[in-house]
Amino acid sequence: MNAVLDNAAAAAPTKSAEKIALENNKLHKRLCRLVGQAIGDFNMIEEGDKIMVCLSGGKDSYALLDILMTLRERAPINFELIAVNLDQKQPNFPDHILPAYLKQLGIPFHIENQDTYSIVKRLIPEGKTTCSLCSRLRRGILYRVADELGCNKIALGHHRDDILETFFLNMFFGGKLKGMPAKLVSDDGKHMVIRPLAYVKEEDSERYAAVKGFPIIPCDLCGSQENLQRKQIKGLMREWEKKFPGRVENIFSSLSTVVPSHLMDRDLFGFKDIKADGQANPLGDIAFDEEPCSTPATVPGVIPLQQG
């Protein structure tokens, strides 16, 4: 009997290791597929591009570089990657970690040393959030570095959840229906900024970082408080995901399925000029429906409209 138990115990870790390896492999494949899909959907990368991959030392930027390197090996086109880290001289920033990691990867890289930390500390009163000035300074420096390195594109590690959080922040606190673009022309008009992780869930990026053992550099070295509103939104999305699986994914898909005629932006849709000219409306006659057209009416006594 004991021998049977011993054998089972000995077999268990092997099986579990196999399962873990399988899941990790699936995770890697999923990330490659989603990043490839985002690149294709938005035409993010083209023949001859020289892409500056911004590496902060956080989990997402490591994942971005890692997946882009994998995809470059398989891609039918040629493009270059150069990793760039901006050392902002925050106290206790471990400046040996990234160069050691990048040397071991064998990828071209550049470390830009700029003491934005002191500037921010000097200009922003104690206790106030420093992120907005800090990111403005960082952005300017990164554009200049991209120029100096001859890079035409700048890749950032924002993922699906960053995009959704920004979308809700803009809606709740800014009164705007606006997310974070997957691709845009930089403020100086000279570069294209791309976000190849746009379809990747933060949870997957987190797991991938753990699987790969990336040497993460903590992001609280500057002492700035995490944006409270963003933290609340993150909490809200996590709660939704637990209670209503699929809701967050649906909201994310809605960002790619916009119907301007059913919103209220008069600049986006010419409401004033529309006419009933006898042409069928391709969106269908749903003007009197209060529910989304895929949801049958459930109000007692109301007969659902026939679809189609």
- Which residues in this chain contact ligand SF4 in the complex, by CB under 6 A? 130-131, 134-135, 219, 222, 224
Distance CA 54, CA 65 (A): 8
Q: Which amino acid is at 169?
A: L
Q: Which is nearer to ligand SF4, 119 or 177 (CB)?
A: 119
Q: Which is nearer to ligand SF4, 103 or 128 (CB)?
A: 128
Distance CA 70, CA 218 (A): 25
Distance CA 208, CA 165 (A): 21
- Please report how close the Cβ of residue 208 comes to ligand SF4 at its closest, in angstroms: 22
Q: Which is nearer to ligand SF4, 139 or 183 (CB)?
A: 139
- Please report how close the Cβ of residue 186 comes to ligand SF4 at its closest, in angstroms: 18
Other Cβ atoms closer than 10 A to 120: 22
Cα 272 versus chain centre, distance: 37
Other Cβ atoms closer than 10 A to 141: 16
Q: Which is nearer to ligand SF4, 133 or 211 (CB)?
A: 133
Residue 240: its H or E element: helix 228-243
Other Cβ atoms closer than 10 A to 195: 25
- Please report how close the Cβ of residue 293 comes to ligand SF4 at its closest, in angstroms: 42
Cα end-to-end distance, the chain, whole Å: 65
DSSP code of 129?
-
Q: Which is nearer to ligand SF4, 219 or 286 (CB)?
A: 219
- Please report how close the Cβ of residue 129 comes to ligand SF4 at its closest, in angstroms: 7
Q: Which is nearer to ligand SF4, 107 or 197 (CB)?
A: 197
Helix axes 160-174, 228-243, angle to 10 degrees: 120
- Residue 83 bridge partners (DSSP): 53, 109
Q: Which is nearer to ligand SF4, 152 or 224 (CB)?
A: 224
Distance CA 269, CA 260 (A): 6
Q: Which is nearer to ligand SF4, 150 or 223 (CB)?
A: 223
- Please report how close the Cβ of residue 232 comes to ligand SF4 at its closest, in angstroms: 17
- Please report how close the Cβ of residue 167 comes to ligand SF4 at its closest, in angstroms: 20
- Please report how close the Cβ of residue 176 comes to ligand SF4 at its closest, in angstroms: 21
Among the listed residues 261, 242, 254, 256, the one whose alpha carbon sits nearest the alpha carbon of residue 38:
256
Among the listed residues 109, 102, 202, the one whose alpha carbon sits nearest the alpha carbon of residue 158:
202
- Please report how close the Cβ of residue 223 comes to ligand SF4 at its closest, in angstroms: 8
Q: What's the full length of the chain, in residues?
A: 308
Contact 76, 233 (CB under 8 A): no
